[in-house]
Amino acid sequence: MWAHAFTMMLQLFFIFTPFFVLSMFLTLTTELNGREKRALVLKTSLSVEVVCLILIYGGSAIFTLFSITVDAFRIGAGAILFLNSVDLVQGKPAQAKNIDSRDISVVPMSIPIVVGPATTGTLMVMGSGLESVEDYLAGFLAVTIAVLLLGLTLLVSPWLERGLKEKGISVLTRLSGLILSALSAQMAFTGIRNMLF
């Protein structure tokens, strides 16, 4: 169970695109003081946790409702994840503008910056593979730890900003995009293989 949870947690953490989220957080919170930023991180983390648990545990019901096979969804989610990774590698993900920085914990921070279409598809695919009680517990641990790590990244954003600077964060964002492209290729390949064979 622990090995399964660790693997899922690593995948989720990179799918959250933490360094892109970090750059967006820094951009959207320039007018907030330290206390307001910490409160925002807490609200965002709780929101992401709830949304992710709904998606990972409710994915199977959605597949059944719309008569979608898991493998077809793997291919679609893999394609979306790949497009997302291309944007990250090229350094041109969508930017949020004209937003009240004091009320961004759910929209746009949680949705769609952290939990966008690619993350949604990945969580639903992951959830479809949960069968036993241990699997469900592993899924809960993976989501919770990944969200905690993301929250920790945002909490130390002032130090990361000073240490990495904008160029360093940009490099790490592009590296995350490369890792995401590999995950998307594996997801799509698994779906295609299962449908053909």
- Mean pLDDT throughout 50-70? 89
- Measured in whole angstroms, how far is the alpha carbon of residue 31 from the centre of its chain? 25
Residue span of the structural domain in which 121 resides: 2-196
How many domains are there within the chain? Answer: 1
Given this model, what pLDDT does residue 18 score? Answer: 93
Q: Which DSSP letter does residue 33 get?
A: -
pLDDT band at 89 (very low <50, low <70, confident <90, very high): confident
Distances (CA, A) of 121 to 70, 116, 128, 167: 10, 9, 11, 30
Query: What secondary structure does DSSP assign to 58-117, as a single string?
Result: HHHHHHHHHT--HHHHHHHHHHHHHHHHHHHHHT------S--TTS-IIIIIIIIIIS-H
Q: What is the pLDDT of residues 104-136, one digit of tens each?
A: 899 889 998 899 888 998 999 999 889 899 999
Contacts of residue 178, defined as CB under 8 A and 6 or more positions apart, other chains included, come to: 85, 89
Burial of 111 (0-12, 13-18, 19+ CB in 10 A): middle
Given this model, what pLDDT does residue 137 score? Answer: 96
Q: What is the pLDDT of residues 157-166, one digit of tens each?
A: 999 988 988 8
